A and B are shown apart, each in its own frame.
Chain A
């Protein structure tokens, strides 16, 4: 078969992405129709920049979802097809059988895998890890930053020192120290996971308990409903067979793929000091306000004031920073992949794919460029989204 022309390649990709386009159009139509009733999210559709950013982000989110449901990928991102090594985009698949997609739309990489499927499959990994890791970093940063800013004193001094300590480390050196196989074998990342993953539990326990302290029965129900599933998840995530922490044995029903937990922990660890500093700064500012003084006069507890008076009023800057930080986490994940740390080398995440593609870059352009552009567009989308949100939240 003849190789495809560039027009045909783009047409092929466009049809392959049909579910994504449908979902995107549906999201945008519904959101624009109901935008007046949707609060800050609805206001986003008043700003062009914000809409472009949102579209870019949602594009990759839908690619990740439908990619995981196997509706987009043309081939298996890990399988190698002989004769397809470094083939240019649009090359027909050699020895295609019935039911196989007949072309490598974006060509083959140096191990003869389909680049289009790898880039789209990589989206699933990135979209899964980056927002979740950012969320965890936020839990850690909020749980520590609120009391540090609110109480001040030695507690604040000590925590700020530790935060500055982590921030003074060059990120790449930290990754090299945490993510190498030798360190992973000592179980250190798992011990860090025990500490870092505990913060969401603390956060939700305090959040619910401060609100419903007056109604013990309701309090118990809510606490159980939130904490029991989280505690189970906590235990099974940290427990992994064949490592230092293997207490559950056969009860352990959830094990993230090798390397993912380590990468996740190190990304959370790098991000949380910055979040801590932001939350601490905001708390220092907001605790001077009158409504905080009013709550103090009413005799509310310190944690109630922090979580239900200060935190909601700090949400504007925090939401904007959250978007930016997902982008930054994506960049960090890519950096890890670029240095070949953490994730298994055949993993289709964008950083690893760029790293593999760059080695032959002067001869073959096509393996490195698609993942690079994918990462660029996602981070750009998140930045534009943050910019749009900032503009719209400042407007009133």
Chain B
């Protein structure tokens, strides 16, 4: 088991290095750098000025060296600009050039500086990730129990009317991407022009003009049902259908097993069979699916945070990518790759623990 985890960790680090290098390569292509110079410096810079701007900030070095500097395996270069100022990754205002460390990369814990937010990448990612964590927590709280409930109810009597309608419902939710369901929810529940809200307001049943808020910006400080439910519902709905279908399939399979038949013939009541005998075995497969669903939720997070203007991790991704903020983008991709790979690892290990019939080696 230890060796298995070690090997997986090795692959993980290799994957992360490859991916960050690809991101690094794409963001450091010449047109992207020119765009960065023009947005950060001045829109009407001449080509010469652009080149000087880039050279002053060390963007003109060869790609592997720049990547090595970012990673922290290559000493960072200290550049003296024409107007006498010095610039380098390691230099800060209160440290003299002699005292500054030579290596300032991710390995040393220095994630660099965001050109868009003018702040340290590590602090941006920490604050934004905690906001997204709050969102994800409530998504999990809503999504997992309801998905498992739907799956178990549908799978315990395969082919029944409950099964048919619940299965169709879960197909419908997997067919609704977040930007569709989000728009529909806002239109129905959060738009003052919606007939539902107008009716509710005319009956004086709601404070304000809408049932829910269409933006979740205020939820960043104080989340409540009113401003946070719609984004949470939008993300959970898309993932819910898939988990429910997996649970249903696994439940239906367990219900045909020999020991269930034995229990039925012994005269155990149906609810008892479902809860005591079938449920535990039926929940092994959904566990893996839930873990593997987390990377997909990341996608939903980006869409929903953009749609509801909730300034979390996904929103930062869009801002960083839209403005070619190289170091922030690298930080974002490292975090998301780690999330993806760790969930895969947990799902593999958890699967082994839950199912004694499988061994890693």
Identify the A interface with B (CB < 8 A): 49, 161, 164-165, 167-173, 176-178, 180, 182-183, 185-186, 188, 327, 331, 334-335, 338-339, 351, 354-355, 357-358, 361-365, 368-369, 372-373, 375-376, 379-380, 382-384, 387
Contact = CB atoms under 8 A, between A and B. Distances in A.
B307 interface: yes
Closest 3 CB pairs of A and B: A176-B321, A182-B31, A380-B175
Interface of B: 11, 14-15, 18-19, 23, 26-27, 29-32, 34-35, 167-168, 171-172, 174-177, 179-180, 183-184, 186-187, 190-194, 210, 214, 295, 298-299, 302-303, 306-307, 317-318, 321-322, 324, 329, 332-333, 336-337, 340-341
A376 B174 CA distance: 10
Contacts of B298: 170
A170 B318 CA distance: 12
Contacts of B172: 380
A376 B19 contact: no
Given A335-B299, A368-B183, 18 more contacts: A161-B15, A165-B15, A170-B298, A182-B34, A183-B26, A334-B180, A357-B183, A361-B186, A362-B186, A363-B191, A363-B193, A365-B191, A372-B183, A375-B177, A376-B180, A379-B175, A380-B171, A380-B176
A90 to B, nearest CB: 16
B177 to A, nearest CB: 4
A361 B26 CA distance: 35
Given A170-B302, A362-B190, A383-B174, A334 B317 contact: no
B299 A379 contact: no
Contact of B193 (A364, A376, A384): A364
A358 B19 contact: no
Contacts, number: 144
A362 B341 CA distance: 39
A171 B31 contact: no
A10 to B, nearest CB: 17
Main SS class of interface, A: helix
A334 B190 contact: no
A183 B31 contact: yes
Nearest to B34: A182
Nearest to B27: A177
Contacts of A364: 193
A183 B31 CA distance: 7
Nearest to B176: A376
B11 to A, nearest CB: 8
Contacts of A362: 186, 190-193, 210, 214
A186 B31 contact: yes
Nearest to A162: B18
Nearest to A361: B186
Given A172-B317, A376-B175, A183 B32 contact: yes
Nearest to B192: A362
Nearest to A177: B26
B235 to A, nearest CB: 14
